[in-house]
Copies of this chain bind each other. A is one copy, B any other.
Amino acid sequence: MLSLGFDIGGTTVKAGVLDEELKLIVKESRETPKQDAEALCDMIKQMADELSGGAKEFRCIGVTVPGSVDKDGGIIDAWNIGLRNVPLKRMIESRIKAERVIVKNDADAACDAELHFGVLRGVKYGLMLTLGTGVGGSIIFDGKLFHGGREQGTELGHAMINRGGDLCGCGHRGCIETLCSASALKRLAQKACEEKRGMIWSLASNGADPDAKLLIDCAMQGDEYAQELFEGYTDVLADAIASFVNILDPEVIVIGGGVSGAGDFLLDKLRVKVPPRTFFGSCGRILKASAGNDAGVLGAVI
């Protein structure tokens, strides 16, 4: 029997069909319906039908959500897609026949993918930060994904780092997410455009999207202003990671999500900046997530 993984992001829903050995055999993306749980579940049902060629039953339907999930697979809060207090697992079970339906936090799914297929295999104490539209985070404790002391998940992106700072989507101020997400990099790129400065502005005026990727590309190509903005970004990110090191001191720190696409250009800076900012003067290994773009789809069904 086939399994299906759905990775619901702030912008797109990625779906994947997996065979008995959890190998990804078909993929597709669609736009995420916002603030409408019924429409989301209907789309999941439709994609399951189409991608599986009309299978009547599945081994597992796994769905990741960009927000907090309770132990019954209900969404507590996923402000990114405008859903709150939605019994998502039950709604999917009423539409699709499957041996197991799993609903989990997207960062947890990415972390599960690393634990099973990637750089967290065999790690006892680890931390993973997923730098995308928001900042997701997961904790590996005793070799297993930690779901929070009250089983509501962990929200590392909403640890406070900058008291009294910018308003976060969660309604509070100064969360790590406000400064370390891909959206924070995008705001920096937009600032460069407003100021009409550097390569970011000149490429954007020629039609390029002023987003995180453009900023990183310009910095990699040696543009001074883009490099300055990226240094500022990695300074905050290093502070955030150092803060987690002081709290948990993980053996391995994994960076995932869109921003991790910058690879060693990002990671080498963190490897230099994080250790002196910690209480201990050192930190565990800093690694890039290895499951890539399919992490959510793979991790959803584990």
Q: Which of B76, B141, B280 lies in contact with A280, CB distance below 8 A?
A: B76
Contact between B242 and A150 (Cβ–Cβ < 8 Å)?
no
CB interface residues, A 146-164, toward B, < 8 Å = 148-150, 152-156, 158-164
A243 in contact with B170 given A249-B148, A249-B150, A251-B150 (CB within 8 Å) = no
Find chain B residues with CB under 8 A from A158 CB: 243, 246, 279
Q: Is the Cβ of A149 less than 8 Å from the Cβ of B247?
A: no
A87 within 8 A of B: no
**Cα–Cα, bound, A246→B158 (Å):** 6
User: Is residue A277 within 8 Å, beta carbon to beta carbon, of the partner chain?
Assistant: yes
Nearest-Cβ distance from residue A233 to partner chain B, whole angstroms: 13
A 114-160 contacts with B by CB, 8 A: 124-126, 137, 139, 141-142, 148-150, 152-156, 158-160
Is there a chain B Cβ closer than 8 Å to A284's Cβ?
yes
Copies of this chain present in the complex amount to 2
Count residues of A near B (Cβ-Cβ below 8 Å): 45
Contact B149 A124 (CB under 8 A): yes
Contact pick for A68, options B149, B243, B279, B284, CB 8 Å: B279
> A154 to chain B: which residues have CB within 8 Å?
246-249
- Selected contact of A152 from candidates B165, B239, B280, CB within 8 Å: B280
List of B residues within 8 angstroms of A68 by Cβ = 279-280
Q: Which residues of B contact A159 (CB under 8 A)?
A: 159, 243-244, 246-247
A57 within 8 A of B: no
Q: In the assembled complex, how far is the CB of residue A49 from the closest CB belonging to chain B, in whole angstroms? A: 35
Task: Write the nearest CB–CB distance from A146 to chain B, whole angstroms.
Answer: 8
Chain B hits for A240, CB < 8 A: 160
Residue contact A247 to B250, C-beta cutoff 8 Å: no
Asked if A77 CB lies within 8 Å of chain B CBs, one says yes
**Is A236 an interface residue when CB atoms closer than 8 A count as contact?**
yes
Asked whether any CB of chain B lies closer than 8 Å to the CB of A71, the reply is no
Looking at the assembled complex, report how far the CB atom of A139 sits from the nearest CB atom of chain B, in whole angstroms: 8
- Given the interface pairs A77-B279, A142-B142, A280-B68, the reply to whether A248 lies near B148 with Cβ below 8 Å is yes
Chain A residues at the B interface, C-beta cutoff of 8 Å? 68, 76-77, 124-126, 137, 139, 141-142, 148-150, 152-156, 158-165, 170, 172, 174, 236, 239-240, 242-244, 246-251, 277, 279-280, 284
